[in-house]
Structure 1
Amino acid sequence: MRRFVIGKAKSLLNPSYHSQNHTLLRPLSASQSRFLSSTSVLDSPSTSSASSMYPPVSLDTINPKVLQCEYAVRGEIVTLAQRLQDELKAKPGSQPFEEILYCNIGNPQSLGQQPITFFREVLALCDHPAILDKSETQGLFSADAIERAWQVLDQIPGRATGAYSHSQGIKGLRDTIAAGIEARDGFPANPNDIFLTDGASPAVHMMMQLLISSEKDGILCPIPQYPLYSASIALHGGSLVPYYLDEATGWGLEISELKKQLEDAKSKGITVRALVVINPGNPTGQVLAEDNQKAIVEFCKQEGLVLLADEVYQENVYVPEKKFHSFKKISRSMGYGEEDICLVSFQSVSKGYYGECGKRGGYMEVTGFSPEVREQIYKVASVNLCSNISGQILASLVMSPPKVGDESYESYSAEKEGILSSLARRAKTLEDAFNNLEGVTCNKAEGAMYLFPRIRLPQKAIKAAEAAKKAPDAFYCQRLLNATGIVFVPGSGFRQVPGTWHFRCTILPQENKIPAIVSRLTEFHKSFMDEFRD
């Protein structure tokens, strides 16, 4: 095509240049002149010089904030695991293990967890509403799923899940979610406070974009932390202000630590804008006590901080002595209303007992902001048009599942209880296994989907890691992967108290895989410690 354009341009510019039939050129028309003005740059020396400057994009020219952004959950160890998996597929028996056991990310269905039947029935009917009118449908789908699908479709523009929606999400679905929040907390919820998003992550990014204007704006984040927060703060040009969870007290959150880090940030000229609290914790698995939550709310009120409450694991509590309480419920029970505290609560369909990560559904409930600021949040949401409709539907289903008396209730309850009780058993088995390893201690798995054991490595291992230019826990995790096929995430990817080393392990591999994980890990760990024993 380029040769054709250049040839045409030359034939128009040079009267001695003829086509194959030697037809002489006519004078240029106005349209031909305009064509030449747009194509003449093809032969210009400046363009030729510019094209030799390849590549136009390099690590030196991209946004430095992208370089600062790291996400260990899908980092170097996982890349190696994927390469080993490809090698196993191409050449079975090429590794000292038969399969890769992914324990690195909270992705339940990729590891065999089955979706909730009622949720998928409603989604299927909404995606293909023509089958609602077929007689066979009554025998294939539960009556309450059919009824719910009709209700949802009546709320969607054009009854089409492929259509755009309101940028905050479909109003009727937000009504359903608000009712679910009110039923959970015992306090009113306003559907206009709810922004439906493609999972909780975009909601976190939206709030960071809103709150951060320069590197002098800080966000208090727990350490260890979920890398989404450090990554999003880096991308938006802010400063992460760390507060350390106390491993000795089961990853406790001390108000004295918050105050200390807040004052330290102020001394550096950083204005702290918000406090991030992850409850239940990721990667640490603790569930906050109600009194602790009240102290956190009081701290945010006194210091004028936005409370960013990551509550995506609210269904994942495994110990009877602990119970999830939303920060919305806590703050309202303390008598604080919208005029007292700015609170953003995040929820997702990716976690809990549903595990619908790939459907990308979630929401944030935004309270305590002025109408003017709310308009700006809506503007940011509008830039992305809307979140996907299937994710919106799932978010409404999660907050309004089948109730007693509904046809699907018994099967729904059995599926939910089966998943959560199995997760609790897996958590306890892995917790015990870690605590039986030399030099490893692991706090109780109270909630979420992870364990975060501490590993005390011999000095020889630490020096070997330094020689390999790796963090000691990353060195351990890479050796573990190469020997066993087990994928853990090094604790250094989540940040940790300097001089301590950890790794994160999910509890999501199916129960029949857990014995193999324990066996392989135990054998490897003994060999590793013997090899590097001081």
Structure 2
Amino acid sequence: MSYNKMPSITAETINPKVRMFTYEPCGEIVRHARLLEQEIYDNPGSLPFQEIIYCNLGNPQALGQQPINFFREVLSLCDNPPLIYRDEARALFSACALKRANRILESLPAKDSGSYTSSQGVRSLRQVVADGIAARDGFPSRAEDIFLTDGASSAINMMMQILIRSPEDSILCPLPEYPLYSGSIILHGGTMVPYYLTEDNGWGLEIFEVKRCLEDARASGLTVRAMVVINPGNPTGQVLSMTSQEEIVEFCRKEGLVILADEVYQDNVYTENKKFNSFKKVARSLGYDQEDLSVVSFHSVSMGYYGECGRRGGYMEICGFGSEVIDEIYKLSSLTICPNIAGQILISLIMDPPKLGDESFETFMTEKEETYSSLLKSAKTLQKAFSSLEGVSCNKFEGAMYLFPRLRLPPLAIRAAELEGVSPDVFYAHRLLGATGIAVVPGSGFHPVSGTSHIRCTILPGEEKIAAMVPRLRAFHEAFMEEFRG
């Protein structure tokens, strides 16, 4: 008997769609950073820095942001129900945390956090989320329209599976983009139709540009099914004006497009003259209901003042879809049985945090305001630092957790990058990491306008890390520009 000695699977024989897309926030820069981190561990003192500062991901707690105590108390009690009834619990946990945990446990299967739940999520927790949305927007929300999910990413992937039927089906996406969108569209066999945000206008959205892209796509035979809007923006950090949102709603209603509203940074708005408004709220304010427009909004426990990325909790609210479509989405969500229970609990807490009069309210508000203040101070410091560098410009920070400064590098640096077979921003990011230990993401991973170079830098929540980072950044950039000035 002979045997096949060839590997049963190779990089050439895997699904080609997987090989087509990239995800730079966890890509080559991070692999380089891990190698340097190992070098620091194996050979202390061998590098000009003693730690890697990871500015590649919005990962708040890994960067020093403190968790909200009330949320952690409730999660602990839900995972350890007997604690609720022990005498010492009243000394360790707030009365409102004990009350909330008991209420949540009463709604769980077998009153325990270790069981499967409904594939759509625990109904009482979905009702809490719906009530939170209604309180936020001033318009009704129904538990039946809420799907609790393992973070916003799984919900976005689910909607791409629902919307994309063939390569002719396409989705309008902003550029620069969060690469989850291009990656998921590729994986599900669709076509991305990009529309560019305008850097000179604070990364604003021009509706005539979106219309042009839609018309070009249709002229080429594509069926455009939805429009992605990220607000506040990632990687660009802008907050859309109400006027822009109204234009988008009117456009999508007229053209029959689903609005896919990525609203995971809704609690990260830092500009005084703008505030977050959900797309559902904007649509309802214009008088459009479920019969007029389809809107899917996504939220997550990962960002905001809570920053619980590892809990993988989130929701999507689906408005304007018929009951038969909802049934199909439920069937799709059933493939993973159910979202994780810690994430379900946490998203309910975020949408219904302590209120005035609750024992935990003052502590909660103090922790929340300290986190906001720290992020805002760090953002201002970083923005000022980037803007002061030769050949670097940085738009005003409005929301989310990122700065997206533009690099205008000397011709010699661009030629050096070409010789290494990489783009100028990749060249710069690797040099920055090797010299300082600061890991940022090359802007090309977010597909900005061709011929421009950017980096995306996550805002660190701790002033101590910022204080350590800025002098390294400035010294590196000055040396880099001097080396390649010619």
TM-score w.r.t. structure 1 length?
0.90
Measured at CA, do residues 509 and 400 of structure 1 come closer, stay the same or move farther in structure 2, by a change above 3 Å?
Answer: closer
Structure 1 position 379 matched with structure 2 position 304 = no
Cα distance in 2 between the residues matched to 1:144 and 1:133: 14
Deviations along 1:71-128, whole A, 9 cap, x unmatched? 1000000110011001101111111111111111000111111110000000000000
Which residue is 1:479 aligned to?
Answer: 431
Q: Is the Cα contact below 8 Å between 2:168 and 2:222 reproduced in 1?
A: yes
Which residue is 1:38 aligned to?
Answer: none
Residue 354 of structure 1: which of 299, 303, 306 is its match? 306
1:111-126 to 2 correspondences below 5 Å: 111-126=63-78
1:316-465 to 2 correspondences below 5 Å: 316-465=268-417
Which residue is 1:147 aligned to?
Answer: 99
Cα distance in 1 between the residues matched to 2:169 and 2:408: 36
Which residue is 1:292 aligned to?
Answer: 244
1:229-308 to 2 correspondences below 5 Å: 229-308=181-260
Cα distance in 1 between the residues matched to 2:129 and 2:269: 21
AA of the residue aligned to 1:186 = G
Q: Is the Cα contact below 8 Å between 2:150 and 2:314 reproduced in 1?
A: yes
User: Offset at 1:162?
Assistant: 0.9
Which residue is 1:181 aligned to?
Answer: 133
Cα distance in 1 between the residues matched to 2:341 and 2:460: 27
Deviations along 1:213-263, whole A, 9 cap, x unmatched? 111111111100001111111111111111000000100001001011111
Residue 213 of structure 1: which of 165, 171, 180 is its match? 165
> Secondary structure, in 3 states, of the residue corresponding to 2:195?
strand
Residue 69 of structure 1: which of 10, 21, 30 is its match? 21
> Secondary structure, in 3 states, of the residue corresponding to 1:308?
strand
Gaps of 5+ in 1: 1-44
User: Offset at 1:163?
Assistant: 0.3
Which residue is 1:19 aligned to?
Answer: none
Q: Is the Cα contact below 8 Å between 1:200 and 1:346 reproduced in 2?
A: yes
Cα distance in 1 between the residues matched to 2:339 and 2:267: 23
> Secondary structure, in 3 states, of the residue corresponding to 2:325?
helix
Specify the structure having the higher radius of gyration (Cα): 1
User: Offset at 1:133?
Assistant: 1.1
1:475-514 to 2 correspondences below 5 Å: 475-514=427-466
Q: Is the Cα contact below 8 Å between 1:223 and 1:496 reproduced in 2?
A: yes
AA of the residue aligned to 2:117 = S
RMSD: 0.7
Which residue is 1:18 aligned to?
Answer: none
Which residue is 1:200 aligned to?
Answer: 152
Cα distance in 2 between the residues matched to 1:445 and 1:215: 37
Cα distance in 2 between the residues matched to 1:94 and 1:356: 34
User: Offset at 1:270?
Assistant: 1.2
AA of the residue aligned to 1:325 = N
Residue 171 of structure 1: which of 107, 123, 134 is its match? 123
Deviations along 1:151-181, whole A, 9 cap, x unmatched? 1001101111110000000000001010000
> Secondary structure, in 3 states, of the residue corresponding to 1:521?
helix
Q: Is the Cα contact below 8 Å between 1:458 and 1:529 reproduced in 2?
A: yes
Deviations along 1:374-403, whole A, 9 cap, x unmatched? 111111011111000000000000000000
Cα distance in 1 between the residues matched to 2:338 and 2:407: 44
User: Offset at 1:49?
Assistant: 2.7
Cα distance in 2 between the residues matched to 1:427 and 1:381: 38
Which residue is 2:177 aligned to?
Answer: 225
AA of the residue aligned to 2:233 = G
User: Offset at 1:267?
Assistant: 2.0
Cα distance in 2 between the residues matched to 1:348 and 1:508: 19
User: Offset at 1:508?
Assistant: 2.0
AA of the residue aligned to 1:267 = A
AA of the residue aligned to 1:374 = I
AA of the residue aligned to 2:31 = T
Cα distance in 1 between the residues matched to 2:461 and 2:377: 12
Q: Is the Cα contact below 8 Å between 1:345 and 1:365 reproduced in 2?
A: yes
AA of the residue aligned to 1:68 = M
Cα distance in 1 between the residues matched to 2:165 and 2:45: 53
Which residue is 2:55 aligned to?
Answer: 103
Which residue is 1:515 aligned to?
Answer: 467
> Secondary structure, in 3 states, of the residue corresponding to 2:476?
helix
User: Offset at 1:509?
Assistant: 4.8
Residue 3 of structure 2: which of 38, 49, 57 is its match? 49
Cα distance in 2 between the residues matched to 1:139 and 1:224: 50
Q: Is the Cα contact below 8 Å between 2:375 and 2:461 reproduced in 1?
A: no
> Secondary structure, in 3 states, of the residue corresponding to 1:274?
strand
AA of the residue aligned to 1:49 = Y
TM-score w.r.t. structure 2 length?
0.99
AA of the residue aligned to 1:255 = I
AA of the residue aligned to 1:258 = V
Q: Is the Cα contact below 8 Å between 1:101 and 1:509 reproduced in 2?
A: no
Cα distance in 2 between the residues matched to 1:277 and 1:378: 24
Moved over 6 A (4+): none
Cα distance in 2 between the residues matched to 1:197 and 1:466: 43
Cα distance in 2 between the residues matched to 1:130 and 1:216: 55
> Secondary structure, in 3 states, of the residue corresponding to 2:452?
coil
> Secondary structure, in 3 states, of the residue corresponding to 1:502?
strand
Cα distance in 2 between the residues matched to 1:497 and 1:174: 40
Deviations along 1:292-343, whole A, 9 cap, x unmatched? 1000000100111010000000000111111000001000000000011110
Q: Is the Cα contact below 8 Å between 1:103 and 1:509 reproduced in 2?
A: no
> Secondary structure, in 3 states, of the residue corresponding to 2:296?
strand
User: Offset at 1:503?
Assistant: 0.3
Gaps of 5+ in 2: none
Which residue is 1:29 aligned to?
Answer: none
